[in-house]
Amino acid sequence: MFSLRRVVAILIALLIALILSNRRASRSFPMASQAAAKNLASAAKLSNPTAVFVGGTSGIGQGMVEAFNRHTKGNSNIVLVGRNREAAESIISKMRAANGNSSTTGSYEFVHCDVSLISDVKRSAADIFSRHPKINFLVITAGVLGAAQTATAEGLDKETSVHYYGRWSFIHELLPALRAARDAKQDSKVLSVFSAGRGGGPYDAAAWNDLMCEEFALRNPGIAFGHAFPGGVRTNLLKASDSLVLHAINVILPLLRPFTVSQDECGEYLWSGLYRSTADKGSGSVPGAWRIGSKGEDLGMARYFGSPEQRRKLWESTARTTKTEDP
């Protein structure tokens, strides 16, 4: 049974982290509206791009989807990947309405996928690639809380599968489409929104996302791979969790409102970081590998855990676990 003491401890830790993060950000970074204006200018250079959003039917993913639709003014091909078709159709209708009566060249579609199942990820990726052989942006925001110690039908821990193995597999399976965009001299970028700069050591999913981005960047020159931390965002993730502790925190979450941002604001901030990322530079020594903060800033190598040897071993282990031929 979860104790009141544990709930209070988690809440206090969350509050302190959000206050400190908010203070640092308020000193150095622009408002979301300013980020949005810069994003519009960045997107103006794109020509009918294709973007795939894994986890784009709610929360942070929805914020990024709708922001991208605004940036491109409906002139983009948007693929929403998730489990909730009804939510996806609602978002698509909302975006079409936002476009108004203007003539647009873009398209919208939904692909069903359970990101916790590697077999479903591979099936969905193949389906997407069959219709979109060239992809400019792959944004992965799918998340789950309170599912630790819960095994998937494939025998993997559910949280680890969603936060790492499923992400790795989506990127790997869609590499041909990302390379096609790169070879066409177009933007080719990947963003995994999880916990950059918040890792607790070399053996957690946050560190693995860092190492994942670095190894993909090393193996795919010309493509930018980013790992981002979204900060405190007002979404339904806590409410949807199976954890009683997280449900309890969700009840008192309104108290944290001054230290959080909306999913729309988060979307603008993260896009500012993604647009700015390039394949020839990076947060550390690996060109094309980026660590992005909650206001779109470059985190550098703060709280980075890993080494080239650990990166290599993780890649080999992941390929075995996902039953993927090592490219």
- 176 belongs to a structural domain: yes
Does the structure show a pLDDT above 90 at 12?
no
Q: Is residue 164 part of a domain?
A: yes
Q: Looking at residue 253, what is its pLDDT?
A: 63
Long-range contacts of 277-286 (CB under 8 A, 24+ apart): 277/189, 277/224, 277/226, 278/224, 279/182, 279/188, 279/217, 279/221, 279/222, 279/223, 279/224, 282/217, 284/214, 286/214, 286/217, 286/218
The distance in angstroms from the start CA to the end CA of the chain is: 46
33: containing domain: 4-321
- pLDDT for the residue numbered 146: 65
| CATH at 246 | 3.40.50.720
- The total domain count for the chain is 1
**What pLDDT does 149 receive?**
72
pLDDT in tens, 31-82: 889 999 999 999 999 999 999 999 999 999 999 999 999 999 999 999 999 9
Work out the pLDDT band at 132, boundaries 50, 70, 90: very high
What is the rounded average pLDDT for all residues in the chain? 89
Count how many Cα atoms sit within 13 Å of the Cα of residue 105 in the half-sphere of its side chain.
7
For residue 172, tell me if it sits in a domain.
yes
User: pLDDT tens-digit profile of 189-215?
Assistant: 999 999 999 887 777 899 999 999 999
Residue 230 lies in a domain: yes
Percent of the chain with pLDDT over 70: 82
Domain presence at residue 78: yes
Query: What is the pTM assigned to this prediction?
Result: 0.88
327 lies in some domain: no
**Dihedral (CA of 189, 288, 46, 265) sign:** positive
Q: Which residues contact 179 (CB under 8 A, 6 or more apart)?
A: 188, 220, 223
Residue 326 lies in a domain: no
pLDDT tens-digit profile of 229-276? 999 887 765 555 555 555 555 566 666 666 689 999 999 999 999 999
- Span 167-192, mean pLDDT? 99
Reported as a pLDDT band with limits 50, 70 and 90, residue 2 is very low
Residue 118 pLDDT more than 90? Answer: yes
Domain membership of residue 57 (yes or no) is yes
